[in-house]
Amino acid sequence: MRTTRPIKYIGWNTITKTLLDLKAITPLAMSSTLMQDGVFIPFAEEVILMEFIGAKDCEGADIYEDYVVEGDPDGGFSVVTWNESQAAFGIVKNKVFLYPGADTYTWNKLKIVGIIHRK
């Protein structure tokens, strides 16, 4: 299956409460002694992976799942998430899944304001 978006991830370290640049870690993954299932993620139990959704916000920043965004027509904040039944990324607001592009706004109208894991 061919995808139109680059497959890339960032990591959230639950202990240090910081983002991990997985591109900087990638050269370590070349060591067969460090790999498990073809992927090397240090301290995997402490790292939450967040996938790039293939879109950018109003300031040109990559949007990843679990980001908190603002700018939908109803105002307030929403969380970027994957919806299994619709097989699509969208936002959840008040427990309702909305899909930018199909609804009344687009991804590039939203602004990243945080990460749901940051508490």
71 vs 100, higher pLDDT:
71
State the chain's maximal CA–CA distance in angstroms.
Answer: 50
Res 112: pLDDT = 95
Helices (H), 1-119: 22-25
* Predicted confidence band of residue 24 (pLDDT cuts 50, 70, 90): low
% pLDDT > 70, the chain: 74
Predicted structure pTM score: 0.77
**61-95 pLDDT, tens digit each:** 999 999 999 987 777 899 999 999 888 898 988 88
25 vs 77, higher pLDDT:
77
Res 46: pLDDT = 81
Res 79: pLDDT = 92
* Predicted confidence band of residue 114 (pLDDT cuts 50, 70, 90): very high
